[in-house]
Amino acid sequence: MTVKIRSENLNLFYGQFHALMDVNIAIKPQAITAIIGPSGCGKSTLLRCFNRLNELIPTVRTTGRILLDDHDIFAPDTDLPRLRKRVGMVFQRPNPFPLSVFDNVAYGLRVHAMRSSRAEVEAVVESSLRATMLWDALKDRLTLPALELSAEQQQRLCISRLVAVEPEVLLMDEPCSTLDPGATEHVEELMRTLARQYTIIIVTHNMQQAARVSAETGFMLLGQLIEFGPTRAIFTNPSDRRTEDYVTGRYG
């Protein structure tokens, strides 16, 4: 089986608190993987391990390995800016910069010095907005402040900003939790489209969303990965009673 990201005996501590316990998971490329579980079970912590964002917290300590294309991301020679370029993050609340639509999308290109000419930047901005189906709506409003967009458009813009720097993996932490049902449907459609090119890992409290969009699902509880496998099996024939209790609504 081809694997894009693999964790091996991954443990994470916030000070003395053991937040992740021996997590072993293998994420397939160019597919959507969902991580579900009750609040506080470690879903977002696991997600942030994949691009080492947890290390911005001083008390965090991690053991085990995470392999991205068979390279240990905790190895001393890991270039963190390059890792976070390869493994981008979409947060729960849209976080566009207080800049224009154009400058939001072009921001990463300038930071990473990826394009030299104005024409090259313009081409990437257009292709990135097309990838998130924003181009037709915004092509004549590229100077508009991004903060004036709707919540759905802001979230799509944040995804465009990631796509512009040519990532390989998109991490999405509750990307639809602040959106209405119509906007959620549009973002889910976008995720399915993006999964043809990118590896997507989504954390969600919405089990229906996980069932709709993901190929594989992991169920977490109290810092442990209880079960992981094809989404249909997780929701219709789980092998662990705790998974069954959660997906049938007995708790959580």
Q: Cα–chain-centroid distance for residue 96?
A: 16
Please write the tens of the pLDDT for every residue from 183-230. 888 889 888 999 999 999 999 988 999 999 999 999 999 999 999 999
Q: Show me where the domains of the chain are located.
A: 5-101+168-247
Q: At the topology level of CATH, where does 5-101+168-247 sit?
A: Rossmann fold (3.40.50)
pLDDT surpasses 90 at 143: yes
Instruction: Return the amino acid letter for 31.
Output: A
- The tokens describing 46, both together, are 């696991």
Please write the tens of the pLDDT for every residue from 144-179. 999 999 999 999 999 999 999 889 999 999 888 888
Report yes or no on whether pTM surpasses 0.75. yes
User: For the chain, how far is it from start to end, CA to CA, in angstroms?
Assistant: 32
- The tokens describing 3, both together, are 């694997």
For residue 20, the surrounding DSSP H or E stretch is strand 17-27
**Residue 34, burial from CB neighbour count under 10 angstroms (0-12, 13-18, 19+):** buried
pLDDT surpasses 90 at 110: no
- Distance CA(169)–CA(201), nearest Å, equals 8
